[in-house]
Chain A
Amino acid sequence: MLFGLLAFGVLKTPAEHHLLEEERACGFQLAQVNNNTRAQLGQMGFIAALSGFRAVMADFLWIQAGNSFESTDWARLEVFLHSATQLQPRAVVFWEMAHYHMAYDAAIAVKGDESRQPNQALRRRAEREFHQIGEGFLLRGIQFNPDNARLYECLGNLYKNRMQDHLKASQSYACSAQKPGAMGYVRRFAAFELAKVPGKEQEAYEQLKELYLEGPQQRVPTLLTLLKELEQKLAVPEDLRVSNPQNP
């Protein structure tokens, strides 16, 4: 009987492996339960996470992250957010909130916290580090959720508002625009950000022109102003300018 079971095992093992790979390809079984998670969850929590209660354990860590956030313990918050996102990597809201807490809440808090760090240069450095941590959360989130428009949009916002990297911001918005469920404005944002990159004005102008020609729904004030500015900067002939009311 034991040999029978072992024979069945020999047959089932490759099939199990194949099914696991197929589940992963469909977005399942992507969680990483490792020693860091074990340290956060404790022995019982770790066993629970391995025994089919991963989502519940991720929620538990998320609630603990909330406590760290309230006590502005940013280092601890990062550890909890890291473990929660590892346990539930397909939960977009985890990645989005984790990046926001790091790149915005924590970064702004350390930048202005003179009581913990009197040296302004060091505070600025800490702020940049938190921006990078936030960026890391989004990049990892995108690895696990490559078709999610929202995470790319958040990445664009981060590069634009916090890291002042307009080229990367433009690329991120452009990626977001290609994903299902993208917001209508991200294509415009991609062009707006590209217009801020030295040497990319012509490319930005082409994109803005294309958007303009799509119809009135795209002709928001920022787009019209930018078009006009770029036409002047690029010395586009009057008869070719889309912002000229004389032209069709």
Chain B
Amino acid sequence: MALAHNTFLELVRQKVFYFLLLFALLIIGSSLFTVEFSFQSPLQVLKDVGLGAMSIFSWLLGLLCTAMLLPKDIEDRTLYTILAKPVPRFEYITGKLLGVFMMIGLSILLMSVLFAAVLGIREQQELAEIARITPVEELEAALAAVRASAFQWNLLAGVALIFLKAALCSTLTLLLSTFATSSVFTVLISVVVYLIGHVQGIAREYWLRPGEVSLLVKGGIAVMALLFPDLQLFNVVDEIAIGTKIPLDLFLQVTGFGLLYTVVYFMVAQVVFATKEL
């Protein structure tokens, strides 16, 4: 835990993360103005932009934090100092990853608070506007419709899955950084893995479907489907934002999958790191 705490503090001190966090907050704030350009429900656009920004910035924060962990410690020679003490490599890498998770968690918490505040303010503005222009007999239904399109507790499940996805992507980045030679390489490959993870589902369906493609292509698709996680499974927040309820058992299944992926890729990272010549 001491390692996790130190990693977290170290990450918080790095200005690049403050910059990214500020940028994420600005995006959510600016969505207040973008809603004016839409002729759809403004609260809907606000939720889409807010949750989309939260998703991309949590992933980016996790990616950049994790990609720098090992190369920075090797460059500063901190890694050797720590491992010279009776700290097993397993504990070292676990602490590092937990520190990143804490950082992502804090970022998502801050973004969620701001998002909820902006949504609340916008909801009040909408309610006031509706109350001003709607005839009395239709007012109750109109106000209920606005309230239903604003904050719903269901959104928290979406935010939890955004965290889980960011944590999984960070674990994948950690796995890559255990054998990568530079943080630039880790970042680039992690971005590619992120993209592959999102089309993995499409690839898997092609692989499982009979005919259509050659055996060689099928083989390539199969390797892709087997090696990478299906990140699309975590993208349920778009539907949650428009009011689709996520059943508890489905939420638990997706969460379970996320945790399983994270544990497996983390274990692989452990094995690679344990055998790495430092």
Contacts and interface: CB of A to CB of B under 8 A. Distances in A.
Nearest to B254: A19
Question: Which DSSP category, helix, strand, loop or mixed, fits chain A's interface?
Answer: helix
A8 B201 CA distance: 16
A75 to B, nearest CB: 19
A28 B241 contact: no
A17 B208 contact: yes
B250 A55 contact: no
A9 B197 CA distance: 13
A59 B51 CA distance: 13
Contacts of A52: 52, 55-56, 165, 198, 231-232, 234-235
A97 B44 CA distance: 14
B231 to A, nearest CB: 7
A15 interface: yes
A69 B51 CA distance: 27
A64 to B, nearest CB: 10
A123 B124 CA distance: 45
A9 B230 CA distance: 11
B196 to A, nearest CB: 10
B268 interface: yes
Interface string A19-42: 110110011111100000000000
A224 to B, nearest CB: 21
B198 A51 contact: yes
B232 to A, nearest CB: 7
Interface of A: 1, 4-6, 8-10, 12-13, 15-17, 19-20, 22-23, 26-31, 47, 50-56, 58-59, 62-63, 66, 69, 88, 90-94, 97
21 contacts: A1-B272, A4-B268, A6-B223, A6-B227, A12-B261, A13-B226, A15-B257, A22-B253, A23-B254, A27-B244, A28-B236, A30-B239, A50-B199, A59-B45, A59-B48, A62-B40, A69-B39, A90-B244, A91-B44, A97-B39, A97-B40
